[in-house]
Amino acid sequence: MPSNYLYIAVMALVSYTIRILPLTLIRKPIRNRFIQSFLYYVPYATLAVMTFPAIIHATQTPISGAAALAAGIAAAWMGAGLFPVSVICCALVFLIELFV
Amino acid sequence: MKNSQHRTPLRGDASAWAFSRRVFTEGMRDGVPIALGYFAVSFSLGIAARHAGFTPLQGFLASLFNNASAGEYAAFSLIASGATLAEVAIITLIANARYLLMSCALAQRFAPGTPFFHRLLIGYDVTDELFGITISRPGALNPYYTYGAILLAAPAWAMGTALGIMAGNLLPLRVVSALSVALYGMFLAIIIPPARQNRVVAVLVLLSFAVSYACGVLPGIRALSEGTRTILLTVLLSAGAAVLFPIPVEEEEAHAQ
């Protein structure tokens, strides 16, 4: 297994390259409609795939994870920001696991 | 240049990107809530980093040089299962692909003549939140506004990760369990509001949930590592959505300059 510092270097290189390429080399907007659409949809697909069912396995009991998922979706739907949504999810898991 | 304050910024007018204490302070002010949120969320990222065998220093460095919630989380999960460097590079690329789009949008907002090094510095910390506050300011981009926000947000992100690794051992299991959903809360806060606005995104999110769940239980696919499944599903689902529901092409504005 590679050293953790090698992993960090690879992660940092990829992350920085993604951000810096459009700012330096590709200064023109991307015109290809498929690539534009693909890049538009990627964050939703990847974040959704990573959230479910992982959120249910992250907690001590699946019930609290499922409740956090439902509450997080509801709070974000009603316009709560990054920090409030996270706090609501954490608080709910903590409360439920006091009793379950 | 002295007269330039009295006119609207023109090509090569340094007032668009010049340092000003007011602009920098505004950036720091808007960076406060972002830094607070980052600190809390990166704490739970630290818990994931600890599972991957990262020391607090390694977690600090990983976050300082990546500034990416989903990207780092996906990479840490892969590393925990003994991934190769190539796998980690691919998952980082996929999970952070959205920053490519954000950087494209930011690139359009630099005033002509802005010194090149500002592009290299802004590229250091293009995240959902910092992009959001930068792009929503009217007029040409003043990098010092974003630097003000980065000055608070980046250290909070890196220190939260390190503390999460340290405290993961000390905190009661129940607290760790509660904190470990903070990151998922952040993901939901990113994907749900656009899903409310756009039916295609809403269906894509639901479909991603369903397919992700199915792949976790179906024989065969289940054998693939979680990171590999994330890469495959993201590419397939996004490509499918792009073919079936291409987004409207943006109006040509570049020639107007």
pTM: 0.78
For tokens 């007029």, name the residue: B139
Q: Which of A50, A79, A97 sits opposite B230 (nearest CB)?
A: A50
Token digits for B254?
Answer: 């570049």
Is 60 exceeded by the pLDDT of residue B254?
no
**Residues B75, A26: Cα–Cα separation, whole Å:** 26
Confidence of residue A82 (pLDDT cuts 50, 70, 90): confident
Question: For residue B81, which residues of chain A lie inside 8 Å, CB to CB?
Answer: none
| CB of B65 closer than 8 Å to CB of B207 | no
As to burial, measured by CB atoms within 10 angstroms (0-12 exposed, 13-18 middle, 19+ buried), residue B183 is: buried
Cα distance from N-terminal residue to C-terminal residue, chain A: 39
Residue of B65, B212, B245 with shortest CB distance to A12: B65
The domain ranges of chain B are 15-181, 198-247
CB contact under 8 A, B62 and A12: yes
Check CB contact of B113 with chain A, cutoff 8 Å. Answer: no
The two tokens of residue B202 are 């809403």
Nearest to A8 among B37, B61, B177 (CB): B61
Q: Do B181 and A15 touch (CB under 8 A)?
A: no
pLDDT for B253? 43
Separation CA B182–CA A84 (nearest Å): 10
Q: B115 CA to chain A: closest CA distance, Å?
A: 12
| Interval A60-72: pLDDT, tens | 999 999 999 999 9
The 3-state secondary structure of B174-221, one letter per residue: HHHHHHCCHHHHHHHHHHHHHHHHCHHHHHHHHHHHHHHHHHHHCCCH
Chain B: nearest CA to A27, how far in angstroms?
A: 6
